[in-house]
Structure 1
Amino acid sequence: MADTAAGAGDLPASLAEIRDEFLALEVRDRLQLLLEFSNELPALPAEYEGHPDLLERVEECQSPVFIFVEVVDGVVAMHATAPREAPTTRGFASILAQGLTGLTAQQVLRDVPDDYPQTIGLVEAVSPLRVRGMTALLGRAKRQIAEKTAQADTASAPGASGA
Protein backbone atom coordinates (compact mmCIF):
# COMPACT_ATOMS: atom_id res chain seq x y z
CA MET A 1 0.00 0.00 0.00
CA ALA A 2 2.85 2.43 0.79
CA ASP A 3 4.24 1.90 -2.72
CA THR A 4 1.40 3.99 -4.13
CA ALA A 5 2.96 7.19 -2.79
CA ALA A 6 4.71 9.35 -5.37
CA GLY A 7 8.17 7.94 -6.00
CA ALA A 8 7.83 5.37 -3.21
CA GLY A 9 9.02 2.49 -5.41
CA ASP A 10 12.29 4.25 -6.23
CA LEU A 11 12.76 6.16 -2.98
CA PRO A 12 16.33 5.64 -1.73
CA ALA A 13 16.50 3.25 1.22
CA SER A 14 17.81 5.89 3.67
CA LEU A 15 14.78 8.13 3.12
CA ALA A 16 12.33 5.23 2.90
CA GLU A 17 13.56 4.02 6.29
CA ILE A 18 13.09 7.48 7.83
CA ARG A 19 9.61 7.77 6.30
CA ASP A 20 8.64 4.32 7.56
CA GLU A 21 9.92 5.15 11.08
CA PHE A 22 7.61 8.17 11.24
CA LEU A 23 4.61 6.41 9.71
CA ALA A 24 4.91 3.51 12.16
CA LEU A 25 4.20 5.92 15.05
CA GLU A 26 1.03 7.54 16.28
CA VAL A 27 0.84 11.21 15.28
CA ARG A 28 1.64 12.43 18.83
CA ASP A 29 4.81 10.29 18.91
CA ARG A 30 6.10 11.64 15.59
CA LEU A 31 7.02 14.94 17.25
CA GLN A 32 9.20 13.03 19.72
CA LEU A 33 10.98 11.29 16.83
CA LEU A 34 11.45 14.67 15.13
CA LEU A 35 13.04 15.94 18.37
CA GLU A 36 15.37 12.94 18.36
CA PHE A 37 16.42 13.80 14.80
CA SER A 38 17.05 17.39 15.89
CA ASN A 39 19.54 16.11 18.45
CA GLU A 40 21.27 14.06 15.74
CA LEU A 41 21.95 16.90 13.27
CA PRO A 42 25.56 16.28 12.25
CA ALA A 43 27.97 19.08 13.13
CA LEU A 44 29.28 21.21 10.29
CA PRO A 45 32.70 20.21 9.00
CA ALA A 46 35.42 22.45 10.44
CA GLU A 47 35.94 24.29 7.15
CA TYR A 48 32.35 25.61 7.31
CA GLU A 49 32.32 26.61 10.99
CA GLY A 50 32.41 30.37 11.29
CA HIS A 51 31.92 30.83 7.52
CA PRO A 52 28.23 31.55 7.01
CA ASP A 53 29.11 32.97 3.58
CA LEU A 54 29.72 29.39 2.40
CA LEU A 55 26.21 28.32 3.39
CA GLU A 56 22.85 29.20 1.84
CA ARG A 57 20.09 30.48 4.11
CA VAL A 58 16.72 28.85 3.60
CA GLU A 59 14.47 31.90 3.91
CA GLU A 60 11.25 29.87 3.89
CA CYS A 61 12.11 28.40 7.29
CA GLN A 62 10.80 30.26 10.34
CA SER A 63 14.13 29.78 12.12
CA PRO A 64 17.54 30.55 10.63
CA VAL A 65 18.70 27.42 8.86
CA PHE A 66 21.64 27.27 6.49
CA ILE A 67 22.69 24.49 4.14
CA PHE A 68 25.55 23.54 1.89
CA VAL A 69 25.60 20.51 -0.37
CA GLU A 70 28.79 18.98 -1.69
CA VAL A 71 28.95 16.60 -4.63
CA VAL A 72 32.24 14.71 -4.76
CA ASP A 73 32.67 12.03 -7.41
CA GLY A 74 28.90 12.08 -7.88
CA VAL A 75 28.16 11.43 -4.19
CA VAL A 76 26.18 13.92 -2.10
CA ALA A 77 27.03 15.25 1.36
CA MET A 78 24.50 17.67 2.83
CA HIS A 79 25.52 19.96 5.67
CA ALA A 80 23.09 22.07 7.67
CA THR A 81 22.99 24.24 10.72
CA ALA A 82 20.01 25.44 12.74
CA PRO A 83 19.72 26.75 16.31
CA ARG A 84 19.06 24.28 19.12
CA GLU A 85 16.14 26.52 20.14
CA ALA A 86 14.44 25.50 16.87
CA PRO A 87 14.05 21.73 17.23
CA THR A 88 11.50 21.35 14.43
CA THR A 89 13.77 23.08 11.93
CA ARG A 90 16.83 21.19 13.21
CA GLY A 91 14.88 17.94 12.94
CA PHE A 92 13.91 18.61 9.33
CA ALA A 93 17.50 19.56 8.46
CA SER A 94 18.78 16.44 10.19
CA ILE A 95 16.33 14.17 8.34
CA LEU A 96 17.53 15.53 5.02
CA ALA A 97 21.22 15.63 5.94
CA GLN A 98 21.10 12.02 7.09
CA GLY A 99 18.81 10.87 4.29
CA LEU A 100 20.60 12.55 1.37
CA THR A 101 24.23 12.16 2.43
CA GLY A 102 25.80 9.17 0.72
CA LEU A 103 23.32 9.07 -2.15
CA THR A 104 24.45 9.78 -5.67
CA ALA A 105 23.46 13.09 -7.19
CA GLN A 106 21.31 11.23 -9.71
CA GLN A 107 19.47 9.33 -6.95
CA VAL A 108 18.58 12.60 -5.23
CA LEU A 109 17.54 14.39 -8.41
CA ARG A 110 15.66 11.44 -9.93
CA ASP A 111 14.37 9.36 -7.02
CA VAL A 112 13.60 11.80 -4.19
CA PRO A 113 10.18 13.32 -4.84
CA ASP A 114 9.82 17.04 -4.22
CA ASP A 115 6.91 16.26 -1.91
CA TYR A 116 8.93 13.87 0.29
CA PRO A 117 8.32 16.07 3.38
CA GLN A 118 4.57 15.59 2.95
CA THR A 119 4.95 11.79 2.88
CA ILE A 120 6.56 11.23 6.29
CA GLY A 121 3.46 11.81 8.39
CA LEU A 122 4.33 15.16 9.92
CA VAL A 123 1.62 17.13 8.10
CA GLU A 124 -0.75 16.09 10.90
CA ALA A 125 1.76 16.94 13.63
CA VAL A 126 3.21 20.35 12.67
CA SER A 127 1.91 23.44 10.93
CA PRO A 128 1.78 23.59 7.13
CA LEU A 129 4.22 26.52 7.30
CA ARG A 130 6.82 24.28 8.95
CA VAL A 131 6.32 21.52 6.38
CA ARG A 132 6.74 24.17 3.68
CA GLY A 133 10.10 25.02 5.28
CA MET A 134 11.24 21.40 5.01
CA THR A 135 10.05 21.29 1.41
CA ALA A 136 12.14 24.41 0.75
CA LEU A 137 15.17 22.75 2.40
CA LEU A 138 14.83 19.81 0.01
CA GLY A 139 14.27 22.09 -2.97
CA ARG A 140 17.40 24.12 -2.23
CA ALA A 141 19.46 20.98 -1.69
CA LYS A 142 18.29 19.57 -5.03
CA ARG A 143 19.03 22.87 -6.77
CA GLN A 144 22.56 22.95 -5.33
CA ILE A 145 23.10 19.34 -6.43
CA ALA A 146 21.85 20.10 -9.94
CA GLU A 147 24.11 23.16 -10.19
CA LYS A 148 27.18 21.31 -8.94
CA THR A 149 26.49 18.34 -11.20
CA ALA A 150 26.15 20.68 -14.21
CA GLN A 151 29.42 22.42 -13.27
CA ALA A 152 31.21 19.08 -12.98
CA ASP A 153 29.80 17.95 -16.34
CA THR A 154 30.94 21.20 -17.97
CA ALA A 155 34.41 20.96 -16.38
CA SER A 156 34.86 17.38 -17.62
CA ALA A 157 33.58 18.06 -21.15
CA PRO A 158 36.17 17.78 -23.94
CA GLY A 159 37.89 21.11 -24.47
CA ALA A 160 36.73 22.46 -21.11
CA SER A 161 40.25 22.86 -19.74
CA GLY A 162 40.69 26.17 -21.53
CA ALA A 163 43.96 25.00 -23.07
Structure 2
Amino acid sequence: MWAIRIYTLIIATSLISIATFASLLFNTITVQANGVGTTHLQDEAVGPYLVTLKTSPAQLTVGTIRASLLIRSSETNEPLSASEATVTITGKTVSQSDEKGPFNSFVKEGVTPPHHDVDILLDKIGVWLLTVEINGELGLGEVVIPITIVKLSFTPLIILSGLVTVAAIVGVSYIRLVRRT
Protein backbone atom coordinates (compact mmCIF):
# COMPACT_ATOMS: atom_id res chain seq x y z
CA MET A 1 0.00 0.00 0.00
CA TRP A 2 2.79 2.41 0.87
CA ALA A 3 4.42 1.65 -2.50
CA ILE A 4 1.33 2.97 -4.30
CA ARG A 5 1.52 6.16 -2.25
CA ILE A 6 5.17 6.63 -3.15
CA TYR A 7 4.45 6.01 -6.86
CA THR A 8 1.63 8.55 -6.67
CA LEU A 9 3.90 11.07 -4.96
CA ILE A 10 6.63 10.59 -7.57
CA ILE A 11 4.21 10.96 -10.46
CA ALA A 12 2.54 14.01 -8.91
CA THR A 13 5.90 15.68 -8.27
CA SER A 14 6.99 15.03 -11.85
CA LEU A 15 3.73 16.38 -13.28
CA ILE A 16 3.91 19.51 -11.12
CA SER A 17 7.49 20.06 -12.23
CA ILE A 18 6.58 19.67 -15.90
CA ALA A 19 3.55 21.97 -15.53
CA THR A 20 5.66 24.62 -13.81
CA PHE A 21 8.31 24.41 -16.52
CA ALA A 22 5.70 24.66 -19.28
CA SER A 23 3.93 27.61 -17.69
CA LEU A 24 7.18 29.50 -17.26
CA LEU A 25 8.23 28.66 -20.79
CA PHE A 26 5.05 29.86 -22.46
CA ASN A 27 3.99 32.73 -20.20
CA THR A 28 5.36 36.22 -20.54
CA ILE A 29 7.14 37.86 -17.69
CA THR A 30 4.88 40.16 -15.73
CA VAL A 31 5.84 43.77 -15.42
CA GLN A 32 5.30 46.08 -12.50
CA ALA A 33 4.36 49.72 -12.41
CA ASN A 34 4.15 52.82 -10.28
CA GLY A 35 7.79 53.48 -9.63
CA VAL A 36 9.02 49.91 -9.14
CA GLY A 37 11.99 48.65 -11.15
CA THR A 38 15.53 49.39 -12.28
CA THR A 39 16.37 53.11 -12.22
CA HIS A 40 17.68 54.64 -15.46
CA LEU A 41 17.15 58.32 -14.62
CA GLN A 42 16.97 59.86 -11.15
CA ASP A 43 15.66 63.43 -10.96
CA GLU A 44 17.11 64.19 -14.40
CA ALA A 45 16.32 67.60 -15.92
CA VAL A 46 14.46 66.99 -19.18
CA GLY A 47 13.40 70.36 -20.55
CA PRO A 48 11.22 72.03 -17.90
CA TYR A 49 10.70 68.73 -16.07
CA LEU A 50 12.46 66.57 -13.49
CA VAL A 51 12.14 62.93 -14.50
CA THR A 52 12.74 59.68 -12.66
CA LEU A 53 12.50 56.69 -15.01
CA LYS A 54 12.46 53.05 -13.95
CA THR A 55 11.90 49.90 -15.98
CA SER A 56 10.72 46.42 -15.07
CA PRO A 57 11.29 43.53 -15.00
CA ALA A 58 14.73 43.93 -13.42
CA GLN A 59 16.40 41.95 -16.21
CA LEU A 60 15.03 43.32 -19.47
CA THR A 61 14.31 40.52 -21.93
CA VAL A 62 12.59 40.29 -25.32
CA GLY A 63 8.90 41.04 -24.91
CA THR A 64 6.96 43.69 -23.05
CA ILE A 65 8.80 45.94 -20.65
CA ARG A 66 7.26 48.71 -18.60
CA ALA A 67 8.75 52.15 -18.21
CA SER A 68 7.45 54.02 -15.18
CA LEU A 69 8.10 57.76 -15.08
CA LEU A 70 7.62 60.20 -12.24
CA ILE A 71 7.42 63.63 -13.87
CA ARG A 72 7.67 66.78 -11.78
CA SER A 73 7.88 70.47 -12.54
CA SER A 74 11.49 71.62 -12.17
CA GLU A 75 10.26 74.90 -10.64
CA THR A 76 7.72 73.68 -8.07
CA ASN A 77 8.82 70.02 -7.72
CA GLU A 78 5.12 69.02 -7.96
CA PRO A 79 4.24 65.73 -9.72
CA LEU A 80 2.32 66.14 -12.96
CA SER A 81 -0.80 64.12 -13.71
CA ALA A 82 -1.95 62.69 -17.05
CA SER A 83 -3.87 65.88 -17.85
CA GLU A 84 -0.77 68.02 -17.22
CA ALA A 85 1.73 65.97 -19.25
CA THR A 86 1.73 63.16 -21.80
CA VAL A 87 4.59 60.77 -22.45
CA THR A 88 5.44 59.02 -25.71
CA ILE A 89 8.30 56.54 -26.04
CA THR A 90 9.83 55.22 -29.24
CA GLY A 91 12.61 52.66 -29.36
CA LYS A 92 15.20 51.83 -31.97
CA THR A 93 18.22 49.58 -32.06
CA VAL A 94 21.61 51.26 -31.94
CA SER A 95 22.18 50.32 -35.59
CA GLN A 96 18.92 52.18 -36.41
CA SER A 97 17.73 49.10 -38.31
CA ASP A 98 14.60 48.48 -36.25
CA GLU A 99 12.17 51.00 -34.76
CA LYS A 100 9.20 50.42 -32.46
CA GLY A 101 6.52 52.78 -31.28
CA PRO A 102 5.30 55.25 -30.49
CA PHE A 103 4.02 53.87 -27.18
CA ASN A 104 1.76 56.18 -25.16
CA SER A 105 1.63 56.49 -21.39
CA PHE A 106 -1.22 55.85 -19.00
CA VAL A 107 -1.69 56.94 -15.40
CA LYS A 108 -3.63 54.78 -12.94
CA GLU A 109 -6.32 56.72 -11.12
CA GLY A 110 -5.83 57.29 -7.41
CA VAL A 111 -2.10 56.54 -7.35
CA THR A 112 -0.07 59.11 -5.43
CA PRO A 113 2.24 60.41 -6.76
CA PRO A 114 1.00 59.82 -10.31
CA HIS A 115 3.37 57.68 -12.39
CA HIS A 116 3.20 57.71 -16.16
CA ASP A 117 3.51 54.04 -17.19
CA VAL A 118 4.36 52.95 -20.73
CA ASP A 119 4.28 49.34 -21.96
CA ILE A 120 6.95 48.87 -24.63
CA LEU A 121 7.21 45.81 -26.90
CA LEU A 122 10.81 45.13 -27.93
CA ASP A 123 11.47 42.06 -30.05
CA LYS A 124 15.26 41.90 -30.49
CA ILE A 125 18.23 41.29 -28.22
CA GLY A 126 20.76 44.12 -27.98
CA VAL A 127 21.07 47.76 -27.05
CA TRP A 128 17.99 49.89 -27.68
CA LEU A 129 17.73 53.66 -27.53
CA LEU A 130 14.46 54.78 -25.95
CA THR A 131 13.43 58.31 -26.88
CA VAL A 132 11.19 59.71 -24.14
CA GLU A 133 9.13 62.72 -25.23
CA ILE A 134 7.21 64.72 -22.63
CA ASN A 135 4.61 67.21 -23.80
CA GLY A 136 2.74 69.24 -21.22
CA GLU A 137 1.71 72.60 -19.85
CA LEU A 138 5.34 73.53 -19.18
CA GLY A 139 6.52 72.76 -22.72
CA LEU A 140 8.41 69.97 -24.44
CA GLY A 141 11.16 67.76 -23.07
CA GLU A 142 13.06 64.90 -24.68
CA VAL A 143 15.75 62.49 -23.53
CA VAL A 144 17.34 59.38 -25.09
CA ILE A 145 18.06 56.45 -22.76
CA PRO A 146 20.06 53.35 -23.73
CA ILE A 147 18.79 50.02 -22.39
CA THR A 148 20.04 46.49 -22.99
CA ILE A 149 17.69 43.64 -23.87
CA VAL A 150 19.11 40.18 -23.06
CA LYS A 151 18.12 36.60 -23.79
CA LEU A 152 15.99 34.93 -21.11
CA SER A 153 17.82 32.04 -19.46
CA PHE A 154 16.00 28.81 -18.60
CA THR A 155 19.10 27.13 -17.13
CA PRO A 156 17.92 27.11 -13.46
CA LEU A 157 14.55 25.67 -14.50
CA ILE A 158 16.20 22.96 -16.59
CA ILE A 159 18.46 22.02 -13.67
CA LEU A 160 15.45 21.83 -11.32
CA SER A 161 13.55 19.60 -13.76
CA GLY A 162 16.58 17.34 -14.05
CA LEU A 163 16.87 17.03 -10.27
CA VAL A 164 13.18 16.12 -9.94
CA THR A 165 13.59 13.48 -12.63
CA VAL A 166 16.64 12.00 -10.89
CA ALA A 167 14.72 11.97 -7.58
CA ALA A 168 11.84 10.12 -9.27
CA ILE A 169 14.21 7.52 -10.75
CA VAL A 170 15.93 6.98 -7.40
CA GLY A 171 12.54 6.65 -5.69
CA VAL A 172 11.28 4.05 -8.17
CA SER A 173 14.57 2.12 -7.93
CA TYR A 174 14.37 2.11 -4.14
CA ILE A 175 10.80 0.81 -4.20
CA ARG A 176 11.77 -2.02 -6.56
CA LEU A 177 14.74 -2.89 -4.34
CA VAL A 178 12.54 -3.03 -1.23
CA ARG A 179 9.97 -5.22 -3.00
CA ARG A 180 12.62 -7.77 -3.97
CA THR A 181 13.80 -8.22 -0.39
Higher strand content, 1 or 2: 2
Q: Which has the higher contact order (CA 8 A, sep 6+)?
A: 1
- Shared fold (TM-score, shorter chain, > 0.5): no
TM-score, normalised on structure 2?
0.32
Higher helix content, 1 or 2: 1
